[in-house]
């Protein structure tokens, strides 16, 4: 795991040459990438969503494509289509921009539901079926989607099935005054993105993705994840709680975060840090509760406060590192 930590820190430092003051957000994006997951970034324009996607792609030496979602975008504009070749008298497949290792789906909620649904198979099964023929996505494959939370005219809200396919949801937020001054200084002559170089290869990334699967997760930590997710389903302000896919996302993300911190085992603190990004967008709040300004993030935080780390249903430690028992009890 020290090798994953070293490689991860190298990638983080490279991306942070461009994205200033957003260490947590950049780390979360890398966590999703290591888990072969996808990221939804919700924030106002100009906060660095597009730059983050480009910086990650360049840091990893991956191919990058951007799709600007608009109401007139068709599904074939995303996945590609078959075109008849008059010379060979055969149909030839022309892949769409989704066939890339890092794909930026910019303002995804501006596309119609029909076009949004074209991403479902690509994101979950990593393949696209066109004219009855299935084409695989490249490996690695990461979709970074953005949406504007303050403008609703001409937009189509993402359905629950679409939201559930994003492993993590991130909010960039505005930089602080000192950070914004640094951004101005760095862009006097040219954008830092123009000088960023690759620090990892696609092969190294695939090896890291395979290695995090070996991170040990104690049964007590797994039980804690299940109880957290279960509590979102029984909360009085929740209409629909997190799905089992949310449990898997939180489990995998905890493994990746532990590896990035140089550990070969996950602890409850990893779960706590990732709970809101992994579960918040999967929770649907009752209409009566939204009127009282209760949002999904607040509900997840309440669940974290109410659900204890230890449980009588399963031993605190079953054959795992002693640090899990000590740190879990401290949480």
pLDDT tens readout for residues 152-162: 666 788 888 88
Higher pLDDT, 328 or 229: 229
The pLDDT of 121-134, averaged and rounded, is: 87
What percentage of the chain has pLDDT greater than the value 90?
A: 37
The pLDDT of 167-184, averaged and rounded, is: 86
Report the pLDDT value the prediction gives residue 260, as an integer from 0 to 100: 93
Residue 139: pLDDT above 90?
Answer: no
Higher pLDDT, 33 or 189: 33
The pLDDT of 211-216, averaged and rounded, is: 92
pLDDT tens readout for residues 317-329: 444 444 444 444 4
Domains contained in the chain, CATH given: 2-209 (3.40.50.300), 215-330 (1.10.8.80)
Q: How far apart are CA 147 and CA 112, in angstroms?
A: 14
Report the pLDDT value the prediction gives residue 319, as an integer from 0 to 100: 44
- Contact criterion met (CB below 8 Å) for 190 and 289: no
Whole-angstrom distance between the N-terminal and C-terminal Cα of the chain?
23
| pLDDT tier at 312, thresholds 50, 70, 90 | low
Report the pLDDT value the prediction gives residue 324, as an integer from 0 to 100: 45
Radius of gyration of the chain measured on its C-alpha atoms? 21
Residue 233: pLDDT above 70?
Answer: yes
Count CA atoms within 13 Å of residue 116 on its CB side.
Answer: 22
Those residues with Cβ within 8 angstroms of residue 161's Cβ, 6 or more apart along the chain or in another chain: 120
| pLDDT tier at 311, thresholds 50, 70, 90 | low
pTM score, whole prediction: 0.85
Q: Which of 44-48, 180-184, 240-244, 255-259 is least confident?
A: 44-48
The pLDDT of 255-269, averaged and rounded, is: 93
Q: How far apart are CA 244 and CA 134, in angstroms?
A: 27
Report the pLDDT value the prediction gives residue 313, as an integer from 0 to 100: 53
| Bridge partner list, 80 | 95
pLDDT tens readout for residues 110-121: 888 888 888 888
Cα 65 to chain centroid, rounded: 17
Mean of all residue pLDDT scores within the chain: 86
pLDDT tens readout for residues 27-50: 999 999 999 999 999 888 777 888
Report the pLDDT value the prediction gives residue 231, as an integer from 0 to 100: 94
């Amino acid at each position: 795991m020290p090798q994953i930590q070293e490689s991860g820190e190298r990638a983080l430092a490279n991306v942070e040459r461009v994205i200033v003051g957003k260490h947590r957000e950049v780390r979360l994006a890398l966590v999703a990438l290591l888990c072969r997951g996808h990221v939804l970034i919700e924030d106002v324009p100009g906060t660095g969503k597009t730059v983050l996607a480009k910086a990650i792609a360049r840091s990893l030496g991956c191919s990058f494509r951007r799709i600007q979602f608009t109401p007139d975008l068709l599904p074939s504009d995303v996945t590609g289509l078959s075109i008849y070749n008059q010379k060979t008298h055969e149909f030839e497949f022309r892949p769409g921009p989704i066939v890339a290792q890092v794909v930026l789906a910019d303002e995804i909620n501006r596309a119609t539901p029909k076009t949004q649904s074209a991403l479902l198979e690509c994101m979950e099964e990593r393949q696209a079926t066109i004219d009855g023929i299935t084409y695989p996505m490249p490996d690695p494959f990461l979709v970074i989607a953005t949406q504007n939370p303050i403008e609703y005219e001409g937009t189509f809200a993402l359905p629950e099935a679409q939201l559930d396919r994003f492993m993590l949801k991130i909010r960039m937020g505005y930089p602080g005054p000192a950070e914004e001054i640094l951004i101005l200084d760095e862009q006097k002559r040219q954008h830092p993105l123009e000088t960023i170089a690759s620090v990892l290869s696609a092969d190294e990334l695939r090896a890291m993705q395979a290695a995090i699967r070996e991170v040990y997760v104690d049964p007590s930590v797994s039980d804690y994840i299940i109880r957290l997710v279960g509590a979102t389903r029984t909360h009085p302000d929740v209409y629909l709680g997190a799905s089992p896919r949310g449990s898997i996302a939180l489990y995998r993300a905890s493994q990746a975060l532990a590896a990035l911190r140089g550990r070969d085992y996950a602890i409850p603190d990893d779960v706590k840090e990732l709970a809101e990004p992994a579960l918040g967008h999967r929770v649907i709040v009752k209409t009566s509760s939204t009127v009282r300004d209760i949002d999904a993030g607040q509900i997840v935080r309440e669940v974290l406060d109410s659900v204890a780390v230890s449980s009588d249903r399963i031993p605190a430690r079953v054959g795992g590192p002693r640090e899990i028992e000590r740190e879990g009890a401290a949480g």
